[in-house]
Amino acid sequence: MTRAPHRLNPKRHVSSFWRIIGLCVIGLHSLNASADTTEAVAGADSSLSRRTGIFASVKTNLLSDALAVPQIAAEFYLTRDFSIEADWMYAWWGRDLGSWMWRIYGGNVTARRWFGRAASAKPLTGHHAGVYVGAFTYDFVFDRKGHMGGLPSGSLWDRCMVNVGVEYGYSLPIARRLNLDFSIGIGYVGGMVERYKVDDDIYIWQSTVRKHWFGPTRAAVSLVWLLGPRNFNLRKKGGEA
């Protein structure tokens, strides 16, 4: 019998996570406060001017949030209908040597190409397609049976699960500064998985296998907060955004 080592320090990771989130919120609030002072001028500009300046967004995947895995992402428009996004998820529920645990963290980087009439009118709106790559690790225990994604020792490749794929989505305006983005991705997820059980207050190793999965690897319904002086949705007749 072998005690499965746990590689994560919850207090250190939780404090670092919320420190980063706090700094992001302060910076983004400052950016939008500056943006609000120029919205009136931007609204009178031509459609061409609506595609110049800073276009960015902060979003959260409501599906991930519903599974008690908080997630946050930041996206920046580059040029010629291309954008780059980085996201991070983090959950740390349950206690060590307990009958259940729900722990996962990791992130992705996504490169997107926007297209269609809505995307031509304003960046970060309408149809988009892209490619993504990411890494994550997890530690789930149910009924004292555990599954750990990634090994606590060994090479960097073995210490995490990796995922790569392609995605398609659509970002729909729902308010002046809010969009609802729907997306789905198909690709590959793989890495080492360690199975163990919790018995008499020890972790007992069961097996270690390398897993491979090809198919749907991500799905998102994201609430998007638009940032930037000209990055807002114009109101249509009747008061709709």
Mean pLDDT by 10 residues, the chain (241 residues): 47 53 56 49 45 88 96 94 96 86 94 95 96 95 91 75 97 96 98 90 90 96 95 71 52
CA angle 109, 112, 115 (to 5 degrees): 165
At residue 40, the pLDDT reads: 44
At residue 232, the pLDDT reads: 92
CA 14, 84, 30, 179 torsion-angle sign? negative
At residue 113, the pLDDT reads: 97
Prediction pTM value: 0.79
Domain ranges of the chain: 10-227
Rg (CA), the chain: 21
Instruction: Reply yes or no on domain 10-227 having CATH 3.90.480.20.
Output: no
The single-letter code of the amino acid at 31 is L
Q: What is the residue-wise DSSP string for 18-57? A: HHHHHHHHHHHHHHHHHHHTTHHHHHTS-TTGGGSS--EE
